[in-house]
Amino acid sequence: MTSTLITDIGELVTCDGTGEGGIGARSGQAVVVEGTGPGPGTIVWVGPASSAPAADEVLDVGGRCVLPGFVDSHAHLVFDGDRSAEFAARMAGQRYDGGGIGVTVAATRAAGDERLRAALQARVAEMRAQGTTTVEVKSGYGLAVEHEVRALQLAAEVTDEVTYLGAHFVPPEMREDRDGYVDLVVGEMLQACAPHARWIDVFCEPASPHAFTGEESRRVLAAGRDAGLELRVHGNQIDHGPGVRLACEMGAASVDHCTYLSDADVDALVDSAATTTATLLPGVEFSTKSPYPDARALLDAGVSVAIASDCNPGTCFSSSMPFMIALAVREMGMTPSEAVVAATRGGARALRREDIGRIEIGARADLAVLQAPNHLHLAYRAGVPIARALEVAGD
């Protein structure tokens, strides 16, 4: 067991629920971490630097801001292929309808295991270099039994938060038999995939021709729950639809996107705030030229809000949580404190995790450090790589 005292912290952001937006930011603090390594240690002490206990090692962070590592609760990192031309076309006015998913499915199926693994590991490393210490990873670009299983097995090599997304899109070879594809997703594919995943997700979006209706989505989620998986939903991304209310009704941990919300959707999110988090993905609005959801209104109404990257080749190929924070502040009406909390504790809540997303005694020592004195710089210095995961001796 090695203990490490982290000292000379310019601002300690605990996200402990106190202060403006729940940021829990204080100066003059120190943190002690204990670890046996490999893997993250545990936070065993937080308090005024003047009364810090002795430790085996001292890590002087030189007046920088220390905060919980970002919890990116929504990402699609197992894929091959390039869709940058699709992005360029959207910037020129083309609308996103989900159709490009088929391009990624073809490239991903054709890729060898080693190639997919290397790409996945590079994306996770890219995230860590920007301060993300937990990432959820979905399948959904295989869409055939062996390809979905492969994606989940690869995802499990880099995270505990693995999500089965066979119901991402009806693959081209099943277009004439849509019901048959849903049967496969809730039958043989689910049986093969459930042992490799914690979560099940569905792209509930009647506005997209090859995504899923409310009733199909309900069937997928119910089958997943029966197989022991917990629920998440892609909802209301392209247009108004049933996704948000279905997620709330079925007790999903999170409903993600929430770009188009009716008053009834917001009411459902308020009523379900203890169970269901609305995970906003501002990089998607940026990359698809869609309207940003009104996070200010959701927070004021009492909705549980998180922000995540949705890093994927189609609607947002950015892995940067600081960029998402900057967008949330500039475009969605969140204060800098609220955005940081939504990217840490909010993401943890969307993953039903209490051991991450906060700096408190007993939490995992998943920490990030900023090349800056306080958390305001995350949005203020948009585009500048000031955040990174903090490596603590004993980890």
Q: How far is the CB of 66 from Fe ion (least distance, A)?
A: 30
Burial class (CB in 10 A: 0-12, 13-18, 19+), 279: buried
Q: How far is the CB of 109 from Fe ion (least distance, A)?
A: 19
Peptide bond into 38 cis (omega under 30): yes
Q: 166 to 205, contacts with ligand NIG by CB under 6 A?
A: 203
237 annotated ligand binder: yes
Q: How far is the CB of 167 from Fe ion (least distance, A)?
A: 12
Q: Does 87 bind ligand NIG (CB under 6 A)?
A: no
**Sign of the torsion formed by the C-alpha atoms of 292, 295, 297 and 301:** positive
Q: How far is the CB of 292 from ligand NIG (least distance, A)?
A: 15
Exposure string of 308-336, with b = 16+ CB inside 10 Å and e = fewer, is bbbbbbbbbbbbbbbbbbbbbbebbbbbb
Cα of 20 vs its chain's centroid, Å: 23
Question: According to CB under 5 A, which one of 148, 161, 230, 310 is a site residue for Fe ion?
Answer: 310
Question: According to CB under 6 A, which one of 314, 322, 336, 394 is a site residue for ligand NIG?
Answer: 314
The answer to whether 377 and 370 have CB atoms below 8 angstroms apart is: yes
Residue 22 site contact among Fe ion, ligand NIG, none (CB < 5 to 8 Å, cut-off depends on kind):
none
Question: According to CB under 6 A, which one of 41, 313, 336, 346 is a site residue for ligand NIG?
Answer: 313
The answer to whether 64 and 373 have CB atoms below 8 angstroms apart is: yes
Contact segment (CB under 6 A) with ligand NIG among 43-51, 128-136, 311-319, 353-361 equals: 311-319
CA distance 97 to 207: 8
- How many helices and strands, by DSSP H and E, does the chain display? 15, 18
Q: How far is the CB of 129 from ligand NIG (least distance, A)?
A: 23
- Find residue 42's DSSP bridge partners: 34, 364
Q: In terms of Cα–Cα distance, which of 7, 1, 10, 15 is closest to 53?
A: 7
Q: How far is the CB of 178 from Fe ion (least distance, A)?
A: 21
Taking the least distance from each CB to Fe ion, the nearer of 205 and 310 is 310
Residue 313 site contact among ligand NIG, Fe ion, none (CB < 5 to 8 Å, cut-off depends on kind):
ligand NIG
Contact segment (CB under 5 A) with Fe ion among 80-88, 157-165, 215-223, 306-314 equals: 306-314
Q: Does 105 bind ligand NIG (CB under 6 A)?
A: no
Q: Does 237 bind ligand NIG (CB under 6 A)?
A: yes
Q: In terms of Cα–Cα distance, which of 147, 138, 303, 146 is closest to 229?
A: 138
All residues at 6 or more sequence positions from 101 whose CB lies less than 8 Å from its CB, including other chains: 140, 141, 168, 169, 210, 314
Contact segment (CB under 6 A) with ligand NIG among 176-184, 294-302, 305-313, 338-346 equals: 305-313
Q: Does 315 bind ligand NIG (CB under 6 A)?
A: yes
141 annotated ligand binder: yes
Q: Does 318 bind ligand NIG (CB under 6 A)?
A: no
- Note the maximum CA span of the chain: 70
If you ran DSSP here, which 8-state letter would residue 173 be given? G
Binding site for Fe ion (CB under 5 A): 310
Binding site for ligand NIG (CB under 6 A): 98, 100-101, 104, 203, 234, 237, 284, 310, 312-315
Would you list which residues are annotated within the binding site for N-formimidoyl-L-glutamate? 141, 312, 314
Would you list which residues are annotated within the binding site for Zn(2+)? 74, 76, 234, 310
